[in-house]
Chains A and B, each alone.
Chain A
């Protein structure tokens, strides 16, 4: 086995990722707006040593695809704000990464940055941010600031529709700016800015606070943050990406990129495209980009029963579930085998999307995790005090920290 550490994230959304999951016998569809439901899911993940959970969100009511908004009553509709829900969870469940989805398109970068920073204080160093762009026309109408035409994903994917390509570039450019603002604000207080110096009456040393002076196409932000630097300094930024433009966003600004290969060849192709993106844009985040894969997971005792369970859900839904990520409906052993193939290919983690909640989360924590543990790929610091540390990231340097001499150097020069 390769010694590359392998990390596990769980993507939490509603009653699970299959649109009919809420009708499964184990589902608790009436509890989706109850904080205790979410806390119990995260406790389950934490106790199995899962590294992080993400919480899905969007800037509007759920709808399928990017076409015109469709209000349908046979799927889960309605969501709690992921950033707020994450703070409620973090106050109660220590020692697991909590990564809410927050949209960059219509929101205020200042509020988003301080909200994530607060989550890092509340969780004592376990916050992340899953960055999301809103390209949906109906979501733009919630703010009324600008119009976004209804996207045609098929045409956009070919890259031949200049208007759509330009729109996607502009939305992702704005996302890059929002991350840049957040990263600057997160560093805008040095760690030792609070001095409480009674003789001079000063609570802070204002020379250790910094304006961020960001001036971009969609917004300008002066800074500094209202929130003092948080335990991680830089919470972990996660970007899910499927195309060139999002790959470039991830390369420029993310700590982790989630990719969605459907086969070994597809994985190779995506890694190639990520490599191209690395040549095309300048990386502004601190460390090398980590690549994680994504999979929808449905686990049963045998391959046949797993396939049958998926088919039963599809039947309830009225059509086969199509996902951007590969759907693994199988035994824990076979799902583990796929994850190990990815790990062997140099992938450093996976974000698992349980098809059914809480059922497939429990299958992951109680069946899949033990199988993976036996192989040794999950060896990692279990006494880590922050998410960055758990994921093997170095402590985040502060871009504004003055290069002041170390105390030892001062003593040395004084005694010379």
Chain B
């Protein structure tokens, strides 16, 4: 390192294999996507690797392609909060972060569940707060109709604000539990929450004493200016998509600059891009494995389906090893894919761009799709991968990464066996957890201020 600033410690999260084509289910090592044994293995392996936290996405509705349930990727997952609570019982140190929608939940209930998770895990709960706007997901919920795009972050912000009020409403010393005097709870230690805003009306007492962290660690994944503003004001971790070195530096710079502007310390918000990896004993072997795995991640059917999401018509007659279709997409108001994070707003323009890109590179359909959907962030020997990760962190392209494996549940075993020791040897990654550390502490975040009954009274 040529820089004179202090060496940064790397933070790592373990992403449970998702319901997209990154997860190779045809691999013989692939196990059940729902059995608890899979989750236990995944969590305990990540804890063996001293990861800061494990991360779960959320399922609110099964994905669909052209009106049919998408059947080419892993389908089905547990209820996020329930499985995290179960994992709290079989792990000791690792953080437990769940993705939970601010659209299809109510703050009183969700704040209580997150506080419960923090009690159950002794201070290891985290919340990736997301917004959902479409009626597709709404069809499974009371709310039904979707939220205006413009209201997404105002709802998320108000949701977070009400939750914070609930988490802060009991004083640290509210529970007395004095058998002799007969006082169980100091009633003056409980504040009444009385919130009335555009999205929520919440009046009442919270049902739990402060949890070890008081607030869960807040994770935010949106990339829009609104999303970045929300992160700047309220998040502890950003789960970003900018794993690429240059894009990572630009994003890091932008967000940390926003922190300066509001007077927050730069290290109070960690930026962790999602990253995949492929290891080999030699660089050449890693490249070869990467090529093989990308073809498993993009089966012929997956390649066609990927295109059909844009073309919105049956393309099963096309040869995936041949050129892209020369017909134009079918444009409807409905569009092709439902329940995905990214939707294509102008299919004809997308199709044209893809055709040009493929023809310039001499790519087949499958090769084009691989370039989008099966690109691996870090490919190399364990030493190479460790050094690249460290370089990204030390040179401020990130504070660490959310590592995504490609098989369930063993995809990160190899990372823990081979890359983690290299990071530890370089002195940039913990060799053990601090005893009884909360997730805030593990991530090196400032803790949430405590509140005494006296402070509550004067608030």
Contact = CB atoms under 8 A, between A and B. Distances in A.
A226 to B, nearest CB: 4
Given A88-B85, A202-B301, A206-B69, A29 B140 contact: no
Contact of B175 (A30, A83, A218, A221): A30
A333 to B, nearest CB: 30
A84 B186 contact: no
Given A80-B120, A108-B142, A201 B61 contact: no
B119 interface: yes
B72 A222 contact: no
A378 interface: no
Contacts of A78: 170, 175, 185, 207-209
Interface in B137-176: 139-142, 144, 170, 175-176
A121 B88 CA distance: 16
A92 B90 contact: yes
A89 B89 contact: yes
A73 B140 CA distance: 40
Interface in B16-56: 25-26, 30, 33-36, 40
B343 interface: no
A91 B89 contact: yes
A168 interface: no
B69 A204 contact: yes
Interface stretch (B197-205, B221-229, B381-389): B197-205
B83 interface: yes
Contacts of A204: 69, 71, 75-76
Residue in B30, B60, B89, B105 whose Cβ sees the most chain A Cβ within 10 Å? B89
Nearest to A62: B207
Contacts of B104: 108, 111
Contact of A203 (B71, B175, B205): B71
Interface in A71-113: 71-81, 83-85, 87-92, 106-108, 110-111
B60 to A, nearest CB: 7
Contacts of A119: 82
A201 B302 contact: yes
Chain A's interface size range is 35 or more
Contacts of A220: 139, 144
Nearest to B196: A144
A78 B208 CA distance: 5
Contact of A80 (B69, B116, B187): B116
Nearest to A30: B177
B83 A228 contact: no
Given A200-B301, A204-B75, A206-B71, A228 B34 contact: yes
A227 B26 contact: no
A142 interface: yes
A157 interface: no
Nearest to A19: B184
A264 interface: no
B25 A35 contact: no
B105 A91 contact: no
A122 B144 contact: no
A194 interface: yes
A119 B36 CA distance: 10
A67 B78 CA distance: 38
A166 to B, nearest CB: 21
Given A29-B179, A203-B74, A209-B62, A87 B82 contact: yes
Residue in B79, B119, B190, B299 whose Cβ sees the most chain A Cβ within 10 Å? B79
Interface string B101-119: 0001110110011001101
Interface in B70-103: 71-79, 81-83, 85-90
B106 A75 contact: no
B204 A91 contact: no
Nearest to B60: A226
B36 A81 contact: no
Contacts of B141: 108, 110, 219, 221
Given A35-B120, A88-B85, A205-B71, A22 B179 contact: yes
A226 B62 contact: yes
B300 interface: yes
B113 A84 contact: yes
Contact of A201 (B87, B106, B299): B299
Given A80-B120, A84-B113, A71 B89 contact: no
Interface in A99-140: 106-108, 110-111, 114-115, 117-119, 121-122, 124, 138-139
A23 B183 CA distance: 9
A67 B435 CA distance: 46
Contacts of B361: none
A79 B207 contact: yes
Contacts of B68: 206
Contact of B36 (A39, A72, A124): A124
Contacts of A203: 25, 71-75
A83 B106 contact: no
Given A226-B76, A227-B79, A22 B108 contact: no
A91 B208 contact: no
A196 B29 CA distance: 13
A72 B190 CA distance: 11
Contacts of B185: 73, 77-78
B109 to A, nearest CB: 6
B204 A76 contact: no
B449 interface: no
B78 A118 contact: yes
Residue in A114, A142, A228 whose Cβ sees the most chain B Cβ within 10 Å? A142
A346 interface: no
A370 interface: no
Contacts of A35: 88-89, 119-120
Contacts of B190: 71, 77
A92 B36 CA distance: 12
A117 B79 contact: yes
B317 interface: no
Nearest to B136: A222
A222 to B, nearest CB: 4
A60 interface: yes
A156 B33 CA distance: 48
Nearest to B211: A33
B59 interface: yes
Contacts of A201: 72, 299-302
A74 B202 contact: no
B182 interface: yes
Contacts of A30: 175, 177
A189 interface: yes
A122 B106 contact: no
Interface string A347-369: 00000000000000000000000
A189 B78 CA distance: 13
A224 interface: yes
Given A23-B179, A84-B116, A219-B142, A142 B86 contact: no
6 contacts: A33-B209, A91-B36, A118-B82, A144-B201, A194-B76, A206-B69
Given A81-B112, A83-B82, A84-B117, 18 more contacts: A23-B182, A34-B119, A35-B119, A71-B190, A73-B176, A87-B83, A91-B40, A114-B82, A115-B79, A117-B78, A121-B36, A124-B36, A143-B108, A198-B26, A203-B71, A221-B140, A226-B62, A226-B76
Closest 6 CB pairs of A and B: A144-B201, A201-B301, A226-B59, A118-B82, A91-B89, A222-B139
Interface of B: 25-26, 30, 33-36, 40, 59-62, 68-69, 71-79, 81-83, 85-90, 104-106, 108-109, 112-113, 116-117, 119-120, 139-142, 144, 170, 175-177, 179, 182-187, 190, 200-209, 299-302
